[in-house]
Structure 1
Amino acid sequence: MRRVSACMVFLLLIMTSAAARPQPAPDDKVWADFVGWLHTMPPITQVVSVLKLYGKELAGKGVTREDAKLTMDRVLRMMRDRPDAWRPIFNRIYTTSGTTFNPEPTPLLVRAVEGHTPGRALDVGMGQGRNAVFLAMKGWNVTGIDLAEEGLAAARAQATRAGTSVNALLADAATFDYGREAWDLIVITYGPGFTGDPPFAERLKTALRPGGLLVVERRSWESRPTPSRGAGSSMAITSSSTTSSCATRSS
C-alpha cells in the first residue's frame, strides 16, 4: 500500500511540474514580438544583421541561450513560411538612417545586356532599383517587383531623378504571374532563396521569350543550383562571395 501511495505521489509531482512549466508562446505572438522589435532595433543595412541583433535582444531580456535558440528557430521558420515575412524586414532596412543607396548596376548585368536590343525586362526583388533604373536608361521597358513598399518608393524616386521611369509593382516573387514568353530579360539579384528551386526555374524559363536572357546573382553559400542551369547556361562567373549566372533561352 505504501509503495502504491509513493508511486501516486511521484506521478502527481511529475504532472504538477509539467503543468507549471511555461508553455511555448503561439507563433503569432512570437512573430508579433519580433516585428515589434524591428521598429526599435539599431540601424541595419543587411538582412544577416537582423537575427544577430535579435538574439542579443533576447539575451538582454534574460532569455536563456536554449530558449533564445528555440525562439530564433521559430522566427527563421516563419520567415520561410509566412508570405509577408520579409516585408517588415526590408521596409525597416530601406528606412534606416544607416542605409545608403548604391545607384550603380551590378557589373554582371552591365556585361550581360551589352549588345542586346532592349525589350521587356523584369527585375525580381528590385529593391531600391539600381538595376531597373539602369535598364530603363538603356531603353528597356522595365517592370520591377518587390514586396517592400519602401523599396518601391525609392526605386520610383531614383527613376524620376534619372529622367526615366519603371513600372514598380508591389508583389511577392513566389506568387507573381510571370506569364508565358512575356519577357526579353529577367534579372534576379540576391533574390529569395527559392530562386534555385527547379519548379521556380521552370516558371522563369517559360516566362522568357525565345532568345530571352536570364541574369541571376546569388550568395555563394546558397548551395542549390541557380535557375539558369534549367535554362541552359551560356555564361557563369563565380567569386568567393557571389555566384553569378547568365543564360539565354533557346527557341
Structure 2
Amino acid sequence: MSHLITVLGLVALVLGQPAAPATDDAKLWAHYETWVATLPALPPGERVPVADRYAAQLATEGISKEEAARRFERINVLRRASSAREAVYWNASFKSGGGPDAPLQLLQEAVRHLKPGRAIEPGIGRGRNAIWLAGQGWDITGYDIAKDALTATQAAAAKAGVKVTTLEGNHDTFDFGTAQWDMILCAYCFMQADDPRWPVAFARALKPGGIVVFQSSVLTRRSVAELAAIWKDFHILRAEDLDAGMEQNDWAPSRTVPTARLVARKR
C-alpha cells in the first residue's frame, strides 16, 4: 500500500497537483454522498450549478469559497472511480437542472420524416430528448444509472403532459432485446460510436429498417470512413467528424474535444 501511495504522489506531482491522502478522499466523498442524498430536487425548468449548491452547503459549515471550489474539483476526480460514484454525481446534477434543455438538433433532423414508433434512449438524463419525442408521438423508453435523473424526467414529462417510460440501468448490463426498437438514441450518454459492442447490440435490438442516432464528444477521434467501417452492417445516412468547438449548442465537452455524429439505418 505504501508503494501505491508513493506512486500516486509522484503522478500528482507530475500533473502539478498535490495528492490527497486516501483517508481524506474517503471522508470528502462520504460527505458529498450524504449531501446529495438529502439535496432537494429543483422544480422542472429551474437550474442552479451543483458546485454553487455544494459551496452554499459548505459555507454553512464555515468552509470558504476557495476551499469549496477545491473540494468540488477533487470530487470531479473521485467520481470517475466507479459507476456507483458516477451515479451519485449525476443524481446531484439532474436534481439541480443540469444539462441542456432543448432536444438534440441531430435528433430533430433525423426523425423529421419518420413515422413515430418505439424508441430507446440510453442515459436519458433529465429527459429532454425523450419528452420531445413523446410529444411527436413516439413510444419512448429511457434508462439511466442516476435514479434522480429518472425522477426529474418523470416530473418534466408530467409538466409537458406526455408519457415516458423510465428504467434504472447501465450500459454494461442493460438488455436491448431483439427486434424491439424503431430507433436507438445515444446523445452524450458515455457511449462511444467506435465501441464495437454497439453496432452488434443495436443491429440485434432494432427492427428491420430501424435507425441509430448517435452524437457524443469522443475519446478517440475517428474519420467518417472509420466510423462507416465500424458500422458496416448499417446504411450510413449521416456521419460527421467535428473539430472541437464546432458544436456549441449542446453538452459542454464538445466545446473542447471533437464530436462524432452518426445516423445509420439497419440494413
Mark yes or no: TM-score above 0.5.
Answer: yes
Is 1:247 aligned with 2:264? yes
User: 1:1-251 residue pairs with structure 2 within 5 A?
Assistant: 25=22, 30=25, 33-37=28-32, 39=35, 43-44=49-50, 56-57=70-71, 75=78, 78=81, 82-96=82-96, 99=97, 102-193=100-191, 196-219=194-217, 221-223=218-220, 229-230=230-231, 231-232=233-234, 233-239=236-242, 240=246, 241=254, 242-250=259-267
TM-score (norm 1): 0.68
1:58, distance to aligned residue in structure 2 (A): 9.0
What secondary structure sits across from 2:263 in the alignment? strand
Measure, in 2, the Cα distance between the counterparts of 1:128 and 1:92.
Answer: 12
Count matched residues.
202
Cα shift at 1:164: 1.1
Residue 249 of structure 2 corresponds to which residue in structure 1? none
Quote the offset at 1:57 in angstroms: 2.6
User: Is the Cα contact below 8 Å between 1:129 and 1:154 reproduced in 2?
Assistant: yes
Q: Is the 8 A contact 1:197 1:227 kept in 2?
A: no
TM-score (norm 2): 0.64
- Partners of 2:49 and 2:98 within 8 A in 1: no
**Letter matched to residue 86 of structure 1:** E
Q: Which amino acid aligns with 1:36?
A: H
> In the alignment, which residue of structure 2 is the partner of 1:48?
none
Name the CA shift for 1:58/1:207 in 2 (closer, same or farther; >3 Å). Answer: closer
**Max Rg structure:** 1
Q: What residue identity is the alignment partner of 2:240?
A: I
**Unaligned runs of at least 5 residues, structure 1:** 1-17, 19-23, 46-52, 60-67
* Structure 2 unaligned regions, length at least 5: 1-5, 7-20, 37-47, 52-66, 247-253
Letter in 1 for 2:166: A
- Secondary structure at the residue paired with 2:50? coil
Secondary structure of the residue that 1:164 maps to in structure 2?
A: coil
Identical positions, percent:
28
CA distance in 1, matches of 2:220, 2:266: 23
Compute the RMSD of aligned alpha carbons: 3.4
